[in-house]
Amino acid sequence: MVMEKNQKQEIIGQFSRHEKDTGSPEVQIAILTKRITHLTDHLRANKHDESSRRGLLKLVGRRRRLLNYVRRHDYQRYVALSDRLKIRRK
């Protein structure tokens, strides 16, 4: 799935720290969460799509690593982000 430009800009606007921020961990995690949600819905309808399942697992792993990074560096930001995106945390 290729996310449309306006969807991506909307997510960046919601989670960016400042005006020109596009690459902070919060923005990356929010974009990955949107892609994961879309792929999860796709796989519910197409149970045998193994290549998409592999892609989903890669995205989940990348998001987990970014969440661990945020958790190590600023726990309050981690809690706020996981609550805002409705991501379960350990």
In a domain, 14, yes or no: no
- CB 87 within 8 Å of CB 80: no
Tell me what the pLDDT averaged over the chain comes to.
Answer: 94
Count of residues making up the chain: 90
In a domain, 33, yes or no: yes
CA angle 26, 59, 76 (to 5 degrees): 30
pLDDT confidence of residue 56: 97
In a domain, 42, yes or no: yes
> Is residue 11 over pLDDT 70?
yes
In a domain, 43, yes or no: yes
pLDDT confidence of residue 1: 58
In a domain, 11, yes or no: no
Q: How far is CA 6 from the centre of its chain?
A: 17
In a domain, 7, yes or no: no
- Strand segments, DSSP code E, in 1-90 are none
- Structural domain of residue 70, as residue ranges? 23-85
How many structural domains compose the chain?
1
pLDDT tens figures, 66-89: 999 999 999 999 999 999 999 998
- Other CB atoms within 10 A of residue 11 CB: 16
Q: Domain of 72: which CATH number?
A: 1.10.287.10
Q: In the predicted model, what is the mean pLDDT of residues 24-28? A: 96
pLDDT confidence of residue 90: 72
pLDDT confidence of residue 50: 96
